[in-house]
Amino acid sequence: MNQDIQKKLGEALKEYDVLEMGVAESFKWPREKIARFGELSKLKVMADEYEKADNGRKKDIEEKLKTILTPPAGGKDAERNKAILEIRAGAGGDEAALFATDLFRMYQAYSAKKNWAFMTLDESKNDLGGYKEIVAELRGKNVYDALKYESGVHRIQRVPATEKSGRIHTSTASVAILPFAEAKEIEIKEADLEVSFSRAGGPGGQNVNKVETAVRVLHKPTGIVISSRTERSQLANRERALEILRAKLLDEKIRKEEAAVSKERKEQIGTADRSEKIRTYNFLQDRVTDHRLNKSWHNIQNIISGNLDQIIESFKK
């Protein structure tokens, strides 16, 4: 067996032995620990089978072990088929929340065109129905790699429907594309979490249910706070919140790993920093401009309707 695989398998089996000793108390374990024990149990079965197998079968088992024990690296070339989309209204009050809604629908429509699964995880609306904040999960082939350069501050210039004097408003919304992190990629200790529950509320403050299903999770080491209220149970909302938290922590890890990206590439497309103003949607000039590429596209309504391929593809060149 390959030495690297043998070493990783040995470490996994040691972890399995430790967990097996406490399996009688598994009913108290958090869900991630139960899932991890299930993964390790499969490796244990495969390791036992490997010892008894003939040479032909051993090769098959070794290939499966290699696939399991050597996941894609978290770097820029990794194939990540899940991502978290987070949109927040910025400067501009109600108009910024309406712009955040437009961006959300744009990515939702683009996902439909790409046959990606798209599911809302959490949302917060203002009185006009615009999104102050919305979080969604996307699943599809290389979805993170396709969208990661959408992260940053998006700006819109238009005359809002609510503007009677015809004055042009400039508003902003921030977009974050986060890599979906499996539990085994990012370990979160229960002691590092502060979890509280409340009733899930709808727009305008009305309660959509009478039990405390909404979850707020504080990650004490980083100060990150995640809320989830779209699911019908505390457990499901807690899992959703942890998914988003893991995505944020993995995103930070990847950013640190990619800090040494080439100077030329940084100058060309920027850093995808959350505070970097990356794109302007100018309705009066019917133009979308990406400031990192110094490139513009016309037919803004077509783009905002989800036809993003021409922009997305520009970052692959």
pLDDT at 106: 96
111 pLDDT above the threshold of 70: yes
Q: What is the pLDDT of residue 71?
A: 55
% pLDDT > 90, the chain: 21
pLDDT bucket at 265, cuts 50 / 70 / 90: very low
The dihedral of CA 116, 121, 122, 126: what is its sign? positive
CATH topology of domain 82-182+261-314: Alpha-Beta Plaits (3.30.70)
pLDDT digits (tens, 9 = 90+) for 49-88: 888 888 888 888 887 787 677 654 444 434 578 889 999 9
| pLDDT tens digits, 215-255 | 888 999 888 888 887 776 777 788 888 888 888 888 887 77
Across the range 115-141, mean pLDDT stands at: 87
Q: Which residues have a Cβ under 8 Å from the Cβ of 84 and sit 6 or more positions away? A: 121, 135, 136, 137, 138, 176, 177, 178, 179, 180, 243, 244, 247
Nearest CA among 290, 291, 286, 294 for reference residue 311: 290
Model confidence at 203: pLDDT above 60 = no
Helix (H) or strand (E) holding 248: helix 234-257
Q: List, for residues 178-187, the tens digit of each pLDDT value.
A: 887 776 678 7
Cα separation, 136 vs 100, whole angstroms = 13
CATH code for the domain defined by 190-257: 3.30.160.20
Q: How confident is the model at residue 206 (pLDDT cuts 50, 70, 90)?
A: very low
* Residue listed under structure tokens 């890890």: 253
Q: pLDDT of 21-57, one tens digit each?
A: 877 776 676 656 676 777 788 888 888 888 888 888 8
Strands 169-179 and 193-198: unpaired
> Are 308 and 108 a contacting pair, CB within 8 Å?
no
Measured in whole angstroms, how far is the alpha carbon of residue 15 from the centre of its chain?
A: 28
Identify the pLDDT of residue 259.
57
